[in-house]
Amino acid sequence: MAMLGKEVRMSRLVNPKSKKMMAITVDHAISRGIAPMTGLHQIQDTIDKIIVGRPDAMTMTKGIAEHCMWKHAGDVAMLMKVSNYSPVAPTKDTVFGTVDEAIRMGADAVSMGAMTLGDFQGEQFETIGKFSEECMRKGMPLIGHVYPKGESVPMDKRTSWENIAYCVRSACELGMDIVKTTYTGDPDSMAKVVACVPSTFRIVIQGGDSCKTLDDYLQMTREAMDCGVGGVTMGRFVWDYKDVTALVIALRYIIHEGYSVKEAKELLAQLENDKNYEEF
């Protein structure tokens, strides 16, 4: 029974045609500080704009879900983030939520973070191991936000394929179902990462750390989808964009409809102009 529950929930996260997952995340404020996350200040408004663009799922903490998701109940899969790091302790995630809460709130997955290759890897992995056992028992998918940002990793090695592969493989070994991590920067090295886990294990990418321009962002998304990455869980670039809904739709067309960067940019320009979001 529990295994069926997991399958049912996983199916809500993934587009049946493309088999990719498109999630937008709004969980950053606790980790990174509220002041710099200007796109999240008006949190209800930002969530509303994202949902008009119809992503498959949204990642958030329980408190924001309780306040902001009543009017969207059932419109989008909810991924319940149960841990976060802090602006003054960025190498350690602390757990503040439970699997039972996520189930009670109608979530389709539990999501938790870990920073590898640092002083706190051991305790974070220990926690993940316990959650993966409980999630399996209760039919709940477990998603990791796993990055090589521990104390031993220099800044210029945070996207090396070896370190990203280590994160991805660790998440798989700890019993997670999906891992969200950073794109390595090019499709050949990302394909090496993808090859380091069984094909049934889903890798999705974040966006905010790696891209400066819209072109880079769309290009990264296209390349990632083409080299075996199973989707995205994107945040900052999306909700910092001037037309949040239009960008969610343009990304959805890259991820699910196979759009090229050029086609996505044309669609984005059209949407920004006519605001005719419902048609897409």
Sites of contact with ligand 13P (CB under 6 A): 25, 27-28, 145, 206-209, 234-237
Active site residue 27: yes
Nearer residue to ligand 13P within complex by CB, 90 or 208: 208
**Residue 157 DSSP one-character state:** G
Query: Which residue out of 85, 147, 166, 183 is catalytically annotated?
Result: 147
Provide the H-helix boundaries in the chain: 2-13, 28-32, 43-52, 62-68, 99-104, 121-138, 161-173, 187-194, 214-226, 236-240, 244-257, 261-274
Closer by beta carbon to ligand 13P, 187 or else 235: 235
Please check whether residue 85 is in contact with residue 116, taking contact to mean a CB–CB distance below 8 angstroms: no
CB nearer to ligand 13P: pick between 139 and 232: 232
Distance CA 267, CA 27 (A): 28
Is the CB of 121 or the CB of 181 nearer to ligand 13P?
A: 181
Least distance in Å: CB of 166 to ligand 13P?
18
Q: How far apart are CA 108 and CA 77, in angstroms?
A: 6
Going by C-alpha positions, the residue among 77, 78, 100, 96 that lies closest to residue 86 is 96
CB closer to ligand 13P, 201 vs 241: 241
138 part of the active site = no
- Is the distance from CB of 73 to CB of 44 less than 8 angstroms? no
Compute the Cα dihedral for 129, 116, 77, 18 and give only its sign: negative
Residue positions counted in the chain? 280
CB of 80 to ligand 13P, least distance (A): 13
The closest of 109, 168, 114, 112 to 136, measured between CA atoms, is 109
150 φ/ψ angles, rounded to the nearest 5 degrees? -70, 170
In the bound complex, what is the minimum distance in angstroms from residue 230's beta carbon to ligand 13P? 16
- Shortest distance, position 143 Cβ to ligand 13P, whole Å: 10
Task: State the minimum distance, in angstroms, from the CB of residue 237 to ligand 13P.
Answer: 6
Q: Which of 6, 180, 241, 259 is catalytic?
A: 180
State the catalytic residue, choosing from 20, 27, 49, 183: 27
Active site residue ranges: 27, 147, 180
